Structure formats: structure tokens, C-alpha cells
Structure 1
Amino acid sequence: MIADRTIKGLCLKVGPLGENDRLLTLLTHEEGIVRIAVPGARRPKSRLAATSALTFLELLIGGKSTLRRARQIKVIKSFSKLGEKLETLSAAQALSELAMLLVGTNDPQPEILQAVLIHLERLQKEDIKPVEALANCVQACVHLLALGGYGLPIQKCCWTGIDLIPPIGDWTWRCSLIESEGFAIGEITNAEITLNASELALLQRLLKPILPLKQTGELLGPMKVWMKLLRVIELWIETHLNRNINALSMLKKILL
């Protein structure tokens, strides 16, 4: 037996466990991904019945190390407003899915948890526009992939090693995504994604802490460009993590 102790974590997923219990999948600072049983949580009058995904929780846990059980649960922060719009909910679910791919059990990666919390807060902003939700999702994926060791190599040509410095204003310049390697200068035959100079420059700016904005405060880049960058993210994840992020596909369908 392990002594009861307190942990904090973001609930990424909630599922049934037996007849009356729930199983929480949490992203924590100390242990990475952990799974905690919540006894009786599916009973209507249970004091633990309010557990849900996309909440930052403090839990008193105990029991066997193979599957610990929650004794008490306190909600520190709820991101329930994300469910009010399909695009923000899909974006948030995409971040949850990606976090679960990047972080393992007994694999503490506090930077990833902090990044997810920051981006969920941004997605929950009042009056967020669909294109802003998409852009936030794309940037969040760029950040999480970099923190998890699968960052997009967007600074040098993957074939020549030449710096990728997009010549803004030259509308003939192109670079192509080679899914297994990165971006190569030029228009490569059979490449699914080809970016012009402005599109690559926008992608490179996503490594910064905040989204690129115009002087007016509006988001830089139209919906069609953000959709293109989302496809870059999808292809990179499919190739390097060998998985599809279902919520990214849902986000595209919602915004099309």
C-alpha cells in the first residue's frame, strides 16, 4: 500500500470503470500521465460525481500503485466554457490527444502541462472567432511538439542545410514538406503541402509565445492559410507519432 497523498493534474479523459466507478486520465507535473479510479463517481448522489474532462484538479489519492483511487477531489480550474463552441471544444480535445501521445506514465514533463493550460486559457477567451480557435490550436500543437521532442524543423532546408529565410514579396518562391524530414526549398513533385514565403514565415512565427497579429490587433493570416498549416501539423504527427489526432479532423470538418 502507498500512503495517501495529494496530486494536481489536468483531467484529459474520463471513462467508465466497472458499474459505478470512473477512470480519470490526468496530466500531472510530477508523474506525467496517471490514471486514477474514482469510486462511485457514476452514482448520481456521489460527492465525486462532478469529475469531467478539461478540469484542473487537486486529488487526495491512495491505494495500490497499479491503480490508485481518489479519496477527495477539488476543482481548481474548469475549462467548461470550451464546450460552448464546437471549434473550441475540438481544439481543446486535440491538445488532450496530443499530450497523451507525447507524455507517458512516470514521465514528468511539466513544461507540456504548463503549455496546455496556457493554450486552453486562450481558447476559452470570450468572443473568440473560429479562425482564432484554429490558429490557437495550430500554435499549441507546434509548441507541444517542440516540447515533446518532435518539433517541426522549419529553420533549415532538410536537403541542403541552407537557412530557410522566406523572401517575403517573392510570390514565385516555394518550399515543400517532406513528411519524414522537414521542408525542402523548391516545389517538389508529389509533395502534398507546398508553402509560399508568407506561409512559411507565418509558420516560423508560431514558435514565439503569442500568435502573430497585425498592427490593428487582428490575427495575421486568413482561414485558408491556417487550414493549410493545420494539415502540415497533421502530416507531421501521422509520420512521426504514427497516430491520427481525431479531434483535428473534427475541427477541420467544423470549419469547412
Structure 2
Amino acid sequence: MAQLYKATGINLKAMPLGESDRLLTILTPEYGLIRVVAPGVRKQKSKLGGRSELFVVNQLLISKGRSLDRINQAETILSYAGLSQNLGKLAAGQYLAELVLHQALSEHPQTELFYLLSEHLGRIEQLQHKTDRLWHTQLIAYLAHGIYHLLAIEGIAPQVQMCCATGNELQPNFNYSDWQVGFSIDSGGIIKIDDTSVVQSSYPNLLGQKTTTKINTLLNANQLSLLQQLAEPQLKALVKLTSHQDWIVVEKLLRKYAQYHLGYSIRSAELIDTYLESQIGSRE
């Protein structure tokens, strides 16, 4: 008899396999990422059909196989069905899932990552859908929050509290409309600058030698404030008062940062761009 094991898992990726099966990539707290066959789920009357959909959390009984394990039983304990009922929420969920697929390990417990992803998917799902700009701003804010936390659990979140070059704390200055800081992707975060026209800055290293830091983008006080909020467990209620375009800048900056430090392109991010363009356009 094949060896059996139990796992709790959330479906993050699904691919057709054979005539009626589906190959699922599942994040579990017990074993990390697993790839298993869901037999017969593409048949019309399959009992496992709905349980093999994306963002469904199942209690699984799995049999070991020579090349691929197979699901014997699946009991749904939670479903983020609301994500699939709105294109914006679905795109945000797929974005976070793609990050996790590239971060999670196989054959290693991933308890913290499992519950972190579940928390952020739940927050996005619970957003009350509206068609106004405020709702879309909240969606991007929640997405950016999830991205930052996933980068943090990987140990590569950008430094947003202190200057990466000097180690000095940086606080947004709202008293001057032209106040800005730099952000350096390869240096890992924010950089204090004295001239807003610069594209690179020089600072002494530990040996007293001048080193050049490339500035990828400039951030205003509002954008820095938003970045600094992302390290908190919860976003402030002030998200309702912030600029939609500022959150767009923050998300795209985190996207570039994640792609650089993780070494791959986030394909699902294009879905967010397409969705927002279709809903409200790219201008404030």
C-alpha cells in the first residue's frame, strides 16, 4: 500500500495533466511547496473539482508516488472565493501567489509564510468592492503591504527608515513641497540626497573611500511615508486620504526591487497594470 500523509494546503497554481487530471502546486505549513496530482478533477462530476481551484485551502490526505504524489482525499476548510469574483482582487492574489511560489522551499516547513500569505489574501478578499478611485487605491495599498511583508520574511525587504549610505534615520519633511529622497535598488533602500537633480550620490565607505550609489528614483514626502507604513502589521486608516498615484509609485518601486533581488520577472504584475488601466487610467 502506498504511504499516506496528511497536510493542510492552499492551492497556488494549477495545470492540466492528462485527459482529466490537474497538477497542483500547493503551499503547506508542514512540508512547504508540494506538487501533487488531483485525479479526475476536470471531469464534470468530480468531487474534487471545486477543491482544486486556486486559493482554496484543503485538509489533504496524499499518497506517495514514484514521481508525483496524488490526492486521495480533500476537505475544504477555507476558500478565498471572493478573489475570483473581482478581476482586481484576483490579479492582486495571483501577484502575491507568484512571489510565494518563487520564495517557498520544498520539503521544509513553511508555517510563517503560509499564515502570512493567508492573512494578506484574506485582507484583499474582504475589501468591499466599489468602482471609485478610493477602492482602487486601497487595493494597491493592500497589495503593496503584502509584497513588503513577503520580502521581509525572505530577509530582503528594502530599508525604508534609515539612509542606506549613512545609517541616519530619515523622516519625511512635509513642510517643503519639493523635498525628496532617493531610492537605490541595488543598495537596498532610501538614500538621503542634497540635490534633487542627482542620479547618483557618493558616500564614504567603512574604509573612508568614496563609493557611488545609483539613485533609481526620487520619492516625495508622501511616498516615503507610505513606504515606511508598510513595515507595520496593519496599514493606517490614513490610507483613505492618500494619493492613488503615490501608491502606484510605491507598488511599482517594490516590484522593480523584488524583481532585482529575487532575480525573476513578476508576470502577474502585468494583470494589475491592465486592470487599473481599464478601470481608471494611469493619470491621477
Coarse TM-score class (shorter-chain normalised): over 0.9
**Counterpart residue number, 2:210:** none
CA distance in 2, matches of 1:108, 1:236: 26
Pair member with larger Rg: 2
Whether the aligned pair in 2 keeps the contact of 1:37 and 1:70 (CA below 8 Å) is: yes
Partner secondary structure for residue 105 of structure 1: coil
**Counterpart residue number, 1:166:** 172
1:197 to 204, 221, 224: 221
**Counterpart residue number, 2:181:** 175
Change (3 A) 1:4 1:202: same
Whether the aligned pair in 2 keeps the contact of 1:169 and 1:197 (CA below 8 Å) is: no
Task: Return the offset for 1:2.
Answer: 5.7
CA distance in 2, matches of 1:49, 1:254: 28
Whether the aligned pair in 1 keeps the contact of 2:163 and 2:169 (CA below 8 Å) is: yes
Task: Return the offset for 1:65.
Answer: 6.3
Partner secondary structure for residue 240 of structure 2: coil
1:149 aligns with 2:173: no
**Counterpart residue number, 1:242:** 263
**Counterpart residue number, 1:39:** 39
Task: Return the offset for 1:198.
Answer: 2.3
Change (3 A) 1:253 1:37: same
Partner secondary structure for residue 124 of structure 1: helix
With normalisation by structure 1, the TM-score equals: 0.92
Task: Return the offset for 1:202.
Answer: 1.5
CA distance in 2, matches of 1:224, 1:29: 36
Worse overlay, 168-177 or 243-252: 168-177
Task: Return the offset for 1:152.
Answer: 1.3
Deviations along 1:83-106, whole A, 9 cap, x unmatched? 222111100000100111111212
Report 1:73-84 matches (<5 A): 73-84=74-85
1:22 aligns with 2:22: yes
Task: Return the offset for 1:138.
Answer: 0.5
Task: Return the offset for 1:205.
Answer: 1.0
1:252 to 259, 273, 282: 273
Task: Return the offset for 1:156.
Answer: 1.8
C-alpha RMSD of matched pairs (Å): 1.8
Whether the aligned pair in 2 keeps the contact of 1:202 and 1:212 (CA below 8 Å) is: no
Partner secondary structure for residue 126 of structure 2: coil
Task: Give, as a single letter, the amino acid of the residue that structure 1 aligns with 2:226.
Answer: L
Whether the aligned pair in 1 keeps the contact of 2:61 and 2:73 (CA below 8 Å) is: yes
Task: Give, as a single letter, the amino acid of the residue that structure 2 aligns with 1:223.
Answer: H
**Counterpart residue number, 1:114:** 115
**Counterpart residue number, 2:248:** 227
Partner secondary structure for residue 147 of structure 1: helix
Any unmatched runs of 5+ in structure 2?
130-134, 201-214, 278-284
**Counterpart residue number, 2:203:** none
CA distance in 2, matches of 1:197, 1:236: 20
Change (3 A) 1:2 1:151: farther
Task: Return the offset for 1:245.
Answer: 1.4
Task: Give, as a single letter, the amino acid of the residue that structure 1 aligns with 2:36.
Answer: I
Task: Give, as a single letter, the amino acid of the residue that structure 1 aligns with 2:219.
Answer: L
Whether the aligned pair in 2 keeps the contact of 1:2 and 1:65 (CA below 8 Å) is: no
Partner secondary structure for residue 219 of structure 1: helix
1:210 aligns with 2:234: yes
CA distance in 1, matches of 2:59, 2:66: 18
Whether the aligned pair in 2 keeps the contact of 1:94 and 1:248 (CA below 8 Å) is: yes
Any unmatched runs of 5+ in structure 1?
none
Percent identity of equivalent pairs: 30
CA distance in 2, matches of 1:26, 1:115: 15
Change (3 A) 1:184 1:213: same
Partner secondary structure for residue 76 of structure 1: strand
1:9 aligns with 2:3: no
Task: Give, as a single letter, the amino acid of the residue that structure 2 aligns with 1:213.
Answer: A
Task: Return the offset for 1:35.
Answer: 0.7
Task: Return the offset for 1:207.
Answer: 0.9
Whether the aligned pair in 2 keeps the contact of 1:122 and 1:136 (CA below 8 Å) is: yes
Task: Give, as a single letter, the amino acid of the residue that structure 2 aligns with 1:185.
Answer: K
